[in-house]
Amino acid sequence: DPPTGCPVAPSPAAAGPTPALFSWEFAADPYPAYAWLREHAPVHRTRLPSGVEAWLVTRYPDARQALADARLSKNPVHHSEAAHQKGKTGIPGERSANLMTHLLNIDPPDHTRLRRLVSKAFTPRRVAAFAPRIQELTDRLIDAMREKQHGAERGSADLIHEFAFPLPIYAICDLLGVPPEDQDDFRDWAGMMIRHGGGPRGGVARSVKKMRAYLAELIHRKRGALGDDLISGLIRASDHGEHLTENEAAAMCFVLLFAGFETTVNLIGNGIYALLRHPAQRELLQKSIAAGDTELLATAVEELLRYDGPVELATWRYATRDLTLGGARIAEGDPVLVVLAAADRDPARFDEPDVLDLTRRDNPHLGYGHGIHYCLGAPLARLEGQTALATLLTRLPDLRLAAEPDDLRWRGGLIMRGLRTLPVEFTPERP
């Protein structure tokens, strides 16, 4: 039986919805429910808040297998419910074939071709060269947080709104080569998508439409005057004489924005939140950063990804034939959702999985996925995460939580896990 208060339906075999799985209480701490599922119903069919029925995969070995299983397609045409439910792709309010034909919605051989082309432009070297710019952006945002205090004794801020949110959007805009004067428009469109993610609303559809028109125009303009930016790199990239079409380049920019934005907001938000709730771990990290040691910083970011990562459920997959996974019989056309947050706390793979241990070395977490769709932006995410944490802990050394954990709210939506706000306090620097 489920432990008292466990929000999972008592009989996992019973058909029908398990609404408590996606309730507000569940959002605050989904881990007990996932532990129950891992043990009692590791591949569990449930009805999602949208009404769509899907399988949840919660054990580490099953999750890893599913992420790399070629029988599970990323292409929504394989969903048995032909009349596709709203928001099913995780991208609200937008069905345009143009922007939606991107890496996370396609299979080989198209995926192989597009991924090869983007990898020629979005290289680890390009990301490494971007490090000083990320540092500059990070410092600028912290300056702004400190300066607004006007000599007050205690500084306060919402770390999501003032830091975690703007950093990745400006970073991606810079990387792509969106001119500075247009970046605030991007910030607004992205803000609309993150605030209202999970359901198609008029504002979201409008924002995506504006973004699409803008990207198409920008790509067209860049083609006439190529520069050093990533969009120019995407236009230049060629593989055996093949290039991205303008539509493919626009969809690629969109997926980079879409996949690289809210994830990084949540890495910073969830990461700082976990550190503020684990003072001994935070102190260990702070000391090692002060000593100029970057090794612990690197394992810390990986552990924060495992412990409370930005992507709770991997993006949608659909069975292309009847198959068995973790003992469950999945029918052709059924959607399969891999619960990364559950797999990364599986005691069969991780020692003391519910403990935050920044020194953890044996940590093959699935926070960036696995297989051919493994996160393309992982080097950039690591750079942003490490720079953000190190700089915050150095420049705001007495950063503390300014709210009770019970009062914090988590954003709704199926795929991502992140806080709406993270109120903090700190001592502002004396002028």
Residue 32 burial by Cβ neighbours in a 10 Å radius (0-12, 13-18, 19+) = middle
Q: Which is nearer to ligand HEM, 108 or 347 (CB)?
A: 108
Q: Which is nearer to ligand HEM, 9 or 305 (CB)?
A: 305
> What is the smallest separation between the CB atom of 311 and ligand HEM, expressed in angstroms?
4
Distances (CA, A) of 404 to 22, 155, 199, 400, 401: 22, 18, 29, 11, 8
Residue nearest to ligand HEM (CB): 377
- Position 376 contacts ligand HEM (CB under 6 A): yes
> What is the smallest separation between the CB atom of 389 and ligand HEM, expressed in angstroms?
12
How many residues sit close enough to ligand HEM to count as binding (CB under 6 A)? 28
Give the position of tokens 């920019």.
253
> What is the smallest separation between the CB atom of 104 and ligand HEM, expressed in angstroms?
5
CB atoms within 10 A of CB 107: 16
Q: Which is nearer to ligand HEM, 177 or 377 (CB)?
A: 377
Measured distance CA(208)–CA(94) in Å, rounded? 7
Our CA dihedral for 408, 412, 417, 420, rounded to 10 degrees, sits at: -40
Q: Which pairs from 347-352 meet CB under 8 Å and 24+ separation?
A: 348/59, 348/60, 348/61, 349/60, 349/61, 350/60, 350/306
- Reading the block at residue 95, the tokens are 């069905």
Q: Which is nearer to ligand HEM, 9 or 171 (CB)?
A: 171
Tell me the per-residue interface mask from 319 to 348 with ligand HEM, x by CB under 6 A, - otherwise.
------------------------------
- Position 369 contacts ligand HEM (CB under 6 A): yes
- Position 375 contacts ligand HEM (CB under 6 A): yes
> What is the smallest separation between the CB atom of 219 and ligand HEM, expressed in angstroms?
17
Prior bond of 109 cis (ω within 30°)? yes
Query: Contact 414/198 with Cβ under 8 angstroms?
Result: yes
- Reading the block at residue 79, the tokens are 């969903």
> What is the smallest separation between the CB atom of 341 and ligand HEM, expressed in angstroms?
11
- Position 367 contacts ligand HEM (CB under 6 A): yes
Selected binder of ligand HEM within 63, 137, 208, 311 (CB under 6 A):
311
Which residue type does 259 have? Answer: A
- Position 263 contacts ligand HEM (CB under 6 A): yes
Query: Contact 249/235 with Cβ under 8 angstroms?
Result: yes
Residues 6+ apart with CB under 8 A from 136: none
Measured distance CA(60)–CA(338) in Å, rounded? 10
Tell me the per-residue interface mask from 83 to 122 with ligand HEM, x by CB under 6 A, - otherwise.
--------------------xx----------x-------
- Position 256 contacts ligand HEM (CB under 6 A): yes
The residues binding ligand HEM (CB under 6 A) are: 67, 103-104, 115, 172, 255-256, 259-260, 263-264, 267, 305, 309-311, 314-315, 367-369, 373, 375-377, 380-381, 385
